C-alpha cells in the first residue's frame, strides 16, 4: 500500500476503535463470564473476597486532636494495644498484645507450611491464629502460642484432644464471604494427608455441610456450648463466628447462646473457594454489620463484656483503628495475612501468566496450583514457601498495622486503642454515614437521625 493510503487506512481504523463503546450492562467482564458459563456449564468458583465496591472504612475519617482535644506525643506517650478475650465465662481468658488476630483458614485450603507460618507470625507479634475446616495440624499447634480451634458444621478432624489442646474454641455459624454456605475443597487439593484428616476419599470434590449436624438454633447452641465447656473444664473462651447478615439479632442470639466472644465477618471477607455469585451477592458489608453488632451488645449491656472481633476487608492500621473506634475489641485478617506471607507476589508474575492470571489478580486458590506455594497441597509448590520467612513477614505486617493504629489513636489523644470512639469519626459519604451512624463530615447529620 502506498504510504498515503496506508495512513488513511490506519486513521480510519483508529477512529473506528475509539468509537467502540463498552456497555454498562454488558461490560467485557460480564461478557467473558457468560462465555465461560456457556462453555463449562458450571458456576465460577474462586478464592479471595468480594471484588465489587461497597462502603468501607475508607469512607470514614478520624477528626484528630484540636483546640478541645489533646493529642499524645508519638513514640513518647504510651498508647496500649493489649486485648483480653473471654472474660465472661472462661477460667483462662486470652491475652493478646495487639488488637489484630489471624482468622481461621483451613489446612487443606492452605499448605501445612503456610499454616505453620501463620502460627509463627502471630506468635512473634503476640497474637492468636485459628485452625479451620480441616482440623488442627501438629505444625500449627507447635508454632502458635495462642491457637483458636474451630468447630465447624463438617467437624472434619474434630476430636476432644485437640479441643483440650486449644486455647479457645470458635463455633463457626457462618462466614462473611458466604453466610449460609458450607466449605468447598476441590479434588485437586484433597491430598492423601488432607483426605485422612477429614475421613474422606482422596481426590473427591468435597462440599462440606452448611448446617451443624447436632444443633439447629440458638437454644440448642446454648446446650452445645455448655457441652464444649464441660469437656474443657470451663477453661477456654468460646467464640461464635457469624457471617454478616441479620447482624443485630445474630449478635444478640450469640450472646444468648453463651458466647464469650462474637466474631463478625463482613461480606468482603475472604474465602478459599466459594461460588463467585455467593461471594458477591450475599451478606452485608463489614461497616454496617459492625455498627449493628455493637448496638446489640450495648442494648444487652454486654459491650466489652462479650468481646467483639470483626473481620472482612481489614488491610491497614486505619481499618484497624476505625473498627476499634466503632466498638470492636479486635479485628481479624485472612486475605491480608496471605498477601503478607507472599501471595500474589510480583516475583511469580510469569507463573501467574501461565495460569492466565497476573500478580495482584490471582484468586484461583481452589485449584491448588498457587505459584507462591501457599494455597496448595502440591508438595513441590508448597516447598517454594519458607515458613520461617513467611512468619517474619506476617509479624512485620502485623506490627505495621499496630503502629498505624497507635498513630491514629495518639492523634485522637487516646492512651489505649480501645479508647477510640465513634465521636472521633466522620463519614465521607452519605452511605457510610448512614451505615456507620457517624455524621457526614462537616455536618452533624446522620441519615435517618435528624435533619441535614
Partner 1 sequence: MSQRYDLAQGSTRELNSWLHHYNGTGESAAWQVVNPNGAHNLAVGLDAPITVDIEGHVGYYCAGMNKYAQVTVHGNAGPGVAENMMSGLVRITGSASQYAGATAHGGLLVIEGDASSRCGISMKGVDIVVHGSIGHMSAFMAQSGRLVVCGDAGEALGDSLYEARLYVRGNVAGLGADCVEKPMKDKHKLELEKLLCEAGITGADAGEFRRFGSARKLYNFNVDNADAY
Ligand X SMILES: Cc1cc2nc3c(=O)[nH]c(=O)nc-3n(C[C@H](O)[C@H](O)[C@H](O)COP(=O)(O)O)c2cc1C
- Binding residues for ligand X, rule: CB under 6 A, are 47, 49, 103-106, 109-110, 132-133, 150, 172, 175-176, 241, 265, 268-272, 311-314, 333-336, 365, 375
Min dist CB 409 to ligand X, Å, is 21
Kindly write out the interface string for residues 148-187 of this chain, putting x where it contacts partner 1 by CB under 8 A and - elsewhere: ------xx--xxx--x----------------------xx
**By the rule CB under 8 A, 367 interacts with partner 1:** no
**By the rule CB under 8 A, 220 interacts with partner 1:** yes
Element (H, E) at 198: helix 192-198
Among ligand X, partner 1, none, the one that 163 touches (CB under a kind-dependent 5 to 8 A) is partner 1
d(CA 161, CA 145): 17
Kindly write out the interface string for residues 92-131 of this chain, putting x where it contacts partner 1 by CB under 8 A and - elsewhere: ----------------------------------------
Q: Between 1 and 38, name the residue whose CB sits nearer to partner 1.
A: 38
Q: In this structure, how many other beta carbons lie within 10 angstroms of the beta carbon of residue 339?
A: 19
Query: Got the DSSP string for 142-186?
Result: HH-SEEEEEE-TT-TT--HHHHHH-SEEEEE---TTSTT---EE-
Among ligand X, partner 1, none, the one that 342 touches (CB under a kind-dependent 5 to 8 A) is none
Q: What is the DSSP letter of 349?
A: H
Min dist CB 226 to partner 1, Å, is 6
Q: Between 225 and 290, name the residue whose CB sits nearer to partner 1.
A: 225
Min dist CB 208 to partner 1, Å, is 8
d(CA 192, CA 185): 13
Among partner 1, ligand X, none, the one that 313 touches (CB under a kind-dependent 5 to 8 A) is ligand X
Q: Between 65 and 158, name the residue whose CB sits nearer to partner 1.
A: 158
Min dist CB 41 to partner 1, Å, is 4
Minimal CA–CA distance to 262: which of 226, 278, 238? 238
Contact by Cβ (8 Å): 435, 55:
yes
Q: Between 148 and 408, name the residue whose CB sits nearer to ligand X.
A: 148
Give the count of residues interacting with partner 1 (CB under 8 A).
32
Among partner 1, ligand X, none, the one that 144 touches (CB under a kind-dependent 5 to 8 A) is none
Min dist CB 274 to ligand X, Å, is 9
Question: In the chain, how long is the greatest CA-to-CA distance?
Answer: 90
Min dist CB 170 to ligand X, Å, is 7
Among partner 1, ligand X, none, the one that 223 touches (CB under a kind-dependent 5 to 8 A) is partner 1
Among ligand X, partner 1, none, the one that 336 touches (CB under a kind-dependent 5 to 8 A) is ligand X
In our burial notation (b when 16+ CB lie closer than 10 A, e otherwise), range 77-91 reads eebebebebbebbbe
Tell me the Ramachandran region of residue 440: left when phi exceeds 0, alpha when psi lies from -120 to 50, beta otherwise. beta
Task: Find residue 425's DSSP bridge partners.
Answer: 62
Among partner 1, ligand X, none, the one that 269 touches (CB under a kind-dependent 5 to 8 A) is ligand X
d(CA 253, CA 103): 22
**By the rule CB under 8 A, 299 interacts with partner 1:** no
**By the rule CB under 8 A, 232 interacts with partner 1:** yes
Contact by Cβ (8 Å): 199, 156:
yes
**By the rule CB under 8 A, 441 interacts with partner 1:** no
In our burial notation (b when 16+ CB lie closer than 10 A, e otherwise), range 279-304 reads bbebbbbbbbbbbbbbbbbeeeebbe
Angle at 261 between CA 256 and CA 266, to 5 degrees: 100
**By the rule CB under 8 A, 226 interacts with partner 1:** yes
Min dist CB 272 to partner 1, Å, is 16
Residue 338, C-alpha cell as written in the block: 496471605
**By the rule CB under 8 A, 42 interacts with partner 1:** yes
Contact by Cβ (8 Å): 124, 100:
no
Q: Between 203 and 447, name the residue whose CB sits nearer to partner 1.
A: 203
Min dist CB 201 to partner 1, Å, is 6
**By the rule CB under 8 A, 214 interacts with partner 1:** yes
Among partner 1, ligand X, none, the one that 441 touches (CB under a kind-dependent 5 to 8 A) is none
d(CA 126, CA 184): 31
Beta 330-333 vs 307-311: how paired, if at all?
parallel
Angle at 87 between CA 81 and CA 89, to 5 degrees: 160
Q: Which runs of consecutive H residues, i.e. helices, occur in 232-316?
A: 247-256, 276-281, 286-299
Q: Between 257 and 359, name the residue whose CB sits nearer to partner 1.
A: 257
Name the site residues for partner 1 (rule: CB under 8 A). 40-42, 154-155, 158-160, 163, 186-187, 198-201, 203-205, 209, 213-215, 220, 223-224, 226-227, 230-234
Amino acid at each position: 500500500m502506498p504510504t498515503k493510503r496506508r495512513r488513511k487506512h490506519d486513521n480510519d481504523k483508529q477512529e473506528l476503535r475509539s468509537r467502540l463503546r463498552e456497555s454498562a450492562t454488558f461490560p467485557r467482564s460480564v461478557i467473558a463470564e457468560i462465555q465461560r458459563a456457556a462453555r463449562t456449564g458450571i458456576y465460577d468458583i474462586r478464592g479471595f473476597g468480594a471484588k465489587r465496591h461497597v462502603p468501607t472504612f475508607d469512607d470514614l475519617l478520624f477528626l484528630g486532636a484540636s483546640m478541645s482535644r489533646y493529642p499524645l506525643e508519638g513514640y513518647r506517650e504510651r498508647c496500649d494495644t493489649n486485648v483480653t478475650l473471654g472474660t465472661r465465662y472462661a477460667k483462662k481468658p486470652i491475652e493478646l498484645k495487639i488488637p489484630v488476630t489471624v482468622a481461621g483458614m483451613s489446612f487443606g485450603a492452605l499448605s501445612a507450611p503456610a499454616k505453620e507460618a501463620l502460627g509463627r507470625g502471630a506468635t512473634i507479634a503476640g497474637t492468636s491464629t485459628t485452625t479451620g475446616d480441616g482440623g488442627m495440624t501438629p505444625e500449627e499447634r507447635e508454632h502458635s502460642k495462642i491457637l483458636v480451634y474451630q468447630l465447624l458444621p463438617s467437624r472434619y478432624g474434630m476430636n476432644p484432644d485437640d479441643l483440650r489442646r486449644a486455647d479457645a474454641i470458635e463455633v463457626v455459624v457462618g462466614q462473611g464471604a458466604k453466610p449460609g454456605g458450607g466449605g468447598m475443597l476441590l479434588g485437586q487439593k484433597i491430598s492423601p494427608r488432607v483426605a485422612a484428616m477429614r475421613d474422606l476419599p482422596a481426590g473427591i470434590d468435597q462440599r462440606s455441610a452448611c448446617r451443624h449436624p447436632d444443633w439447629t438454633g440458638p437454644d440448642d447452641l446454648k446446650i452445645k456450648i455448655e457441652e464444649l465447656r464441660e469437656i474443657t473444664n470451663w477453661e477456654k473462651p468460646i467464640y461464635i463466628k457469624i457471617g454478616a447478615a441479620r447482624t443485630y439479632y445474630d449478635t444478640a442470639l450469640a450472646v444468648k447462646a453463651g458466647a464469650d466472644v462474637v466474631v463478625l465477618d463482613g461480606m468482603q471477607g475472604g474465602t478459599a473457594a466459594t461460588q463467585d455469585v455467593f461471594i458477591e451477592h450475599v451478606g452485608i458489608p463489614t461497616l454496617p454489620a459492625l455498627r449493628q453488632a455493637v448496638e446489640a451488645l450495648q442494648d444487652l449491656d454486654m459491650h466489652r463484656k462479650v468481646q467483639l472481633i470483626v473481620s472482612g476487608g481489614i488491610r491497614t492500621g486505619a481499618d484497624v483503628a476505625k473498627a476499634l473506634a466503632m466498638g470492636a475489641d479486635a479485628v481479624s485478617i485472612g486475605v491480608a495475612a496471605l498477601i503478607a506471607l507472599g501471595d500474589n507476589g510480583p516475583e511469580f508474575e510469569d507463573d501467574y501468566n501461565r495460569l492466565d492470571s497476573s500478580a495482584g489478580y490471582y484468586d484461583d486458590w481452589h485449584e491448588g496450583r498457587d505459584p507462591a506455594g501457599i494455597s496448595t497441597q502440591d508438595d513441590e509448590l508448597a516447598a517454594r514457601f519458607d515458613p520461617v520467612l513467611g512468619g517474619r513477614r506476617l509479624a512485620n505486617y502485623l506490627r505495621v498495622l499496630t503502629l498505624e493504629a497507635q498513630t491514629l489513636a495518639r492523634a485522637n489523644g487516646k492512651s489505649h486503642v480501645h479508647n477510640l470512639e465513634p465521636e472521633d469519626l466522620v463519614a465521607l459519604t452519605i452511605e457510610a454515614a448512614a451505615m456507620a451512624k457517624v455524621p457526614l463530615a462537616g455536618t452533624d447529620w446522620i441519615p435517618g437521625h435528624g435533619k441535614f
